[in-house]
Chains A and B, each alone.
Chain A
Amino acid sequence: MFAYIIKRLLSAIPVLIIVSIAIFSIIHLTPGKPAATILGMEASQEEIDALNQEMGYNLPIYEQYWNWVSHAVRGDLGDSIFMRQTVGEAIAGHIGPTLSLALVAQIIAILMAIPFGIIAAYKRGSLADVTLSGIALAGMAVPSFMLGLILMLVVGVELRWLPNSGYQPLSSGLTEHLKYLILPGISLGMIQAALITRMTRSSMLEVLSLNFIKTARSKGLRETTVLLKHAFRNAFLPILTVIGQTFGTLITGAVVVETIFTIPGLGQLILNSIDRRDFPVIQGIVLVVTLIYVGLNLLVDLLYGIIDPRVRLDRK
């Protein structure tokens, strides 16, 4: 087991090196020199020189990369060019709402998808199954920002059931916090729900055809007990994997959904930074989210290895 963990951790290193090179290179894709691009057309040569000096843009490229990455490894992502704070502080100030939203979306997705998936599998071929599977297929084609706008219009403006935009931090109470996150959460969680429904359905179908289910039924157990205690527990592992592996996509998706509901998260920060050409912040956000993404995948892989010993043996 220990060897498996080490091996898996080591395999992440080359990925992270490439990731860091890619993110570092972004600023050098700008047409013209970075400093001139950042400061815009009106900047004088003195201002450009000063920024070059400050950010080290006039150093050889490998030296710039080394400076950036060696600081990043120590948690120092540099300073924002336009905000009077470090990139780390800016991200720390905005990551809360994004993570909260992603988590709420995940919970909503799970609460919808698992019952739907179980019903679709149990009643396979029935009207309920066809309807639910159809909704799941369609759900994967609806972009989160489209769903968000429709929910905002119908539930927030017409029905006035929930606030149509804005954000309240957790410190103002859990109910208040959640009230603002339900509509964005549904918009974001829909595609996730579609994915988990499909996974739950197919995983349950596999398990339901096995002999131990027949045994459980012939013992005279109630159907709900057979379904939930016997079948679902055994079908849960692949579902858990999908949930874990796709949580990263929810964090990225949150970036888009936030802008519809004016939630002050990483999405708002990155868009403001694009307007201001604040490249250190843009690079910092991409790096941090990628690290969360890679970290989560690693965690899921490791957990999977612990739960299911066959995975460890397979990869030897």
Chain B
Amino acid sequence: MAAINSEEINQLSKRLRQEQRSLLLRRVRSSYGLLIGGVLLLFIIALALLGPLLSPYNLTGMTVINRFLAPSGTHWLGTDEFGRDLLTRIIYGAQVSMGVGLAVALISSALGLVIGIYSAYYKALDHILMRICDGLIAIPGILLAIALMAALGASVWNVIIALTIVFTPGIARVVRSTALVVREQTYIEAMHAQGASDTRIIWRHIVPNTLSPLLVQATFVFAEAIISEAALSFLGAGVPVDVPSWGSILQAGKLVIYKAWWVAVFPGIMIILSVLSLNLLGDGLRDLLDPRVKQKVKRLWSRK
């Protein structure tokens, strides 16, 4: 066998990386859903972060004369019952709604990852943790969240806690099912034979392989958390009334819907756009990260 020098190996691996990258780029470009979802999501995040700097109105500035102004050049989305600029409230609401969604997605992913991985790795833990997850999944999500909010009291953090309790078990299940497959791979067995510690095997070798399905699942949880926060706040069991979130603005809009439709409709549109963008992103990521799924989905959806 001819010896290959390190220079050649370097070049080869460089070429391989380049090829992989261009393949990835091609696949991103070919997935319209992913692109549209990603751009829309970036736009909403930019609105939440930069909007407050651009808006000429402040959040709480009330002018009684300006009550219920219809959308116009000065107030693009109109004003509410206190004469507050609706666009400004929706921008600040984006911070709360998207913030809650993101926090729930991140925290429940982190918890779900740990629970899922350790359940998959340790049989004894599996029985206990998965039974708990099964039980929590069996309780309808929004009802569990309502009951938790009733006990915890209205606050942004409590919404995050309640929704994290609702969504963590589902993520743990996804992570566990992936990790179970990874655990049975030969290279994990090889790691054992080499005497690697459990911690090393779990965190260096199993966790990285569960990250793609976790990412996809986290995107869907992000979307569901936005809807759930909106539903909770809409029912008056979410964020406190004085905190603007899309759900709480919508709730205020419900009361005045016959007088000023815009107060309810615009935050609703924001909810729909953000959820749609996340769903498109999630679908796109799933296809991108797992080509097998893409083929399967293609077969199901466009069988010729």
Contacts and interface: CB of A to CB of B under 8 A. Distances in A.
Contact of A26 (B147, B223, B271, B301): B147
B237 interface: yes
B275 interface: yes
A27 B144 CA distance: 12
B268 A149 contact: yes
Contacts of A150: 265, 268
A56 B243 CA distance: 37
B148 interface: yes
B120 interface: no
A256 B258 contact: no
Contacts of A173: none
B279 A260 contact: no
Given A149-B268, A153-B257, A277-B150, A256 B231 contact: yes
Interface stretch (B53-61, B101-109, B131-139, B186-194): B131-139
A102 to B, nearest CB: 12
Contacts of B136: 18, 22
A260 B138 contact: no
B152 A141 contact: no
Contact of B134 (A14, A26, A274, A290): A14
A270 B132 CA distance: 25
A206 interface: yes
Contacts of B140: 248-249, 251-252, 286, 289-290, 293
A146 to B, nearest CB: 4
A131 to B, nearest CB: 15
B4 interface: no
Given A30-B152, A149-B257, A256-B142, A141 B275 contact: yes
Contacts, number: 149
B100 interface: no
Contacts of B132: 18
Residue of A30, A31, A248, A274 most packed against chain B (CB within 10 A): A274
A103 interface: no
B234 A145 contact: yes
Contacts of A145: 230-231, 234, 250
A167 B147 CA distance: 25
B250 to A, nearest CB: 7
B205 interface: no
Given A29-B148, A30-B152, A286 B250 contact: no
B303 interface: yes
Given A15-B135, A19-B139, A153-B261, A141 B148 contact: no
A260 B131 contact: no
Residue of B135, B148, B272, B302 most packed against chain A (CB within 10 A): B135
Interface residues of A, number: 61
Contacts of B230: 143, 145
Nearest to B271: A143
B46 interface: no
B146 interface: yes
A286 B271 contact: no
Interface string A266-305: 0100110110010100110110011001100000000000
Nearest to A258: B235
Contacts of A15: 131, 134-135, 138
A271 B237 contact: yes
A270 B146 CA distance: 9
Interface of A: 14-19, 21-23, 26-31, 124-125, 133, 137-138, 140-143, 145-146, 149-150, 152-153, 157, 201-202, 205-206, 208-209, 248-249, 251-253, 255-256, 259-260, 267, 270-271, 273-274, 277, 279, 282-283, 285-286, 289-290, 293-294
21 contacts: A15-B131, A15-B138, A30-B151, A31-B152, A124-B303, A137-B280, A140-B279, A141-B279, A143-B230, A143-B231, A143-B268, A145-B234, A149-B257, A201-B301, A255-B143, A256-B235, A274-B237, A279-B151, A285-B143, A286-B139, A289-B140
Given A153-B257, A157-B258, A252-B141, 8 more contacts: A15-B135, A19-B135, A31-B152, A137-B280, A143-B227, A149-B257, A153-B261, A252-B143
